Structure formats: C-alpha cells, structure tokens
Amino acid sequence: MKRALVRCALGAAAAGGVWAACRPRMLRWGATAEEAQRSLPGDDLVPDAMYVTTRAVTINAPAEAVFPWLVQIGQNRGGFYTYDGLENLVGLEIHSADRVHPEWQDLQPGIDYVSLDPQHTMKLTIAVLEPPHAMVIRTGAPGETPQEPGDFFKGEIAGSWAFIVEPIDQTASRLMARWRALWRPAPAAGLAAPIVLEPIHFLMERGMLRGIRKRAEAAAG
C-alpha cells in the first residue's frame, strides 16, 4: 500500500511538472513575447483578468482578406472554423463556413453579437469593430450590462475576446487572438480552470486560428 501511494504521489508530481512546463506555451501559443505583453484593443473591458491568453498565426494573405472571416464567426453566422464535430457533440449545431458571406459582413458594435449556441442564450456583444484591424467581443448580450464576475461553474465569467490582424507586407499578415477572463475567486474554481477550461480553450482556439489561416490562404490563392 505504501509503495502504491508513493508511486501515485510521484506520478502526480511528474504530471504537475509537465503541466507547469507546458502551460506557458499553451497560454501564448504562436505568439511572440512582445505580442503577449503588448496592450491590445479590448484589454480595458476586463482590466483585472485572472486568466489571459494571447495566441497567433502568420497567414499568407493580406489583412483585408483575413478580416472578413473574423466578422462572420459565431453559431449564428459562419461558425468557428475549428472542430465542428466536437462542438456538435454537445448540441451546438456548428457548421463552419468555407467562403465569405457578404450578408454577414455589415455588423454594428453594441448591436450585433456572436452566439455560442443555437438558442442564442449565450450571446457575446461585438464591442469593437475596426476593419480590417480589430474585432473585440465581450460576454453579455447587446443592451445588457456586461457580465459581472461570478460563479465559475455557472458560467458567470466576465470575458473579452479580441482578434487583431496586422499586415506584415502586401501578401501576409499576423492574426492574434486574446482572451481575458475574470470570475469570483474560489478554491474549486482555481483547481478546475487549469484542468478543464485551459486545455479545452487551447485546443479549440488553436484549431480556430489554423482554420482561419487555411481558409484565408485558399481564398487568396
């Protein structure tokens, strides 16, 4: 019994060490140190965030060809360009678009929103829209008070999600995604967030950035 307990303890310590080593890379996958530390549009929406990620990809397409794919994200429009099959296992009915839809491009900050579910019960308001450079969405429906930090397990998370496109030259650009989140501190949430939220968020957002890159590059030829 003692030997088994020691093995379990060593295994847990090893897993914790691996996670501690991998976590910083997950939080800023693809982003440079300068990009991760830089102030971006929308940072002020959740100024005291306890969970911040900055991820990025280089896309061989101009910013003007990348930004339209961002404008149409959402269950209510073009999906999220990531793993539709995984999202649909939980009934989200996501069908990611493979082309830019003109009818989804004319959006208004503070009025239009990104829906996460088919019933539109989880709305994120478009807070900033500056083509072809920045789009920022925040938790909370249009016309409502932004979500206050609350119970992590009830989804009462104050969050902002920024997408920034910066030109490298006439044929390439950088796409950055920054998520800032805050909830009411609690021991259980402090354990659950790194184990559940962070790996899933990393997997899906990395897939999203790759999905946008694939579509934008294919459309740009």
Comparing C-alpha atoms, which of 41, 103, 109, 55 is closest to residue 76? 103
CATH number of the domain at 28-220, please? 3.30.530.20
Q: What is the pLDDT of residue 221?
A: 80
In total, the chain counts a number of residues equal to 221
Tell whether the model's pLDDT for residue 9 goes beyond 60.
no
Query: Residue 152's pLDDT band (boundaries 50, 70, 90)?
Result: very high
- Dihedral class, residue 50 (left if φ above 0, else alpha if ψ from -120 to 50, else beta): alpha
pLDDT averaged over the chain?
Answer: 91
Tell whether the model's pLDDT for residue 6 goes beyond 80.
no
Task: List pLDDT tens digits, range 84-123.
Answer: 999 999 899 999 999 999 999 999 999 999 999 999 999 9
Comparing C-alpha atoms, which of 207, 203, 192, 213 is closest to residue 22? 203
Q: What is the pLDDT of residue 21?
A: 64
Q: What is the pLDDT of residue 20?
A: 57
In the block, residue with structure tokens 């910083």: 24
Task: List pLDDT tens digits, range 169-218.
Answer: 999 999 999 999 999 999 999 999 999 999 999 999 999 999 999 999 99
The number of beta carbons lying within 10 Å of the beta carbon of residue 169 is 7
Q: What is the pLDDT of residue 183?
A: 98
Q: What is the pLDDT of residue 10?
A: 36
Q: What is the pLDDT of residue 91?
A: 93
Which stretches of 28-168 are DSSP H helices?
33-37, 63-71, 84-89
Q: What is the pLDDT of residue 17?
A: 46
Q: What is the pLDDT of residue 22?
A: 76
In the block, residue with structure tokens 């021991």: 187
* DSSP letter assigned to residue 41: T
How is the beta sheet containing 173-182 ordered, strand by strand?
51-59, 173-182, 158-167, 134-139, 123-130, 113-115
Query: Residue 7's pLDDT band (boundaries 50, 70, 90)?
Result: very low
Tell whether the model's pLDDT for residue 145 goes beyond 80.
yes
Q: What is the pLDDT of residue 82?
A: 96
Give the integer Cα–Cα distance in Å for 162 and 128. Answer: 9
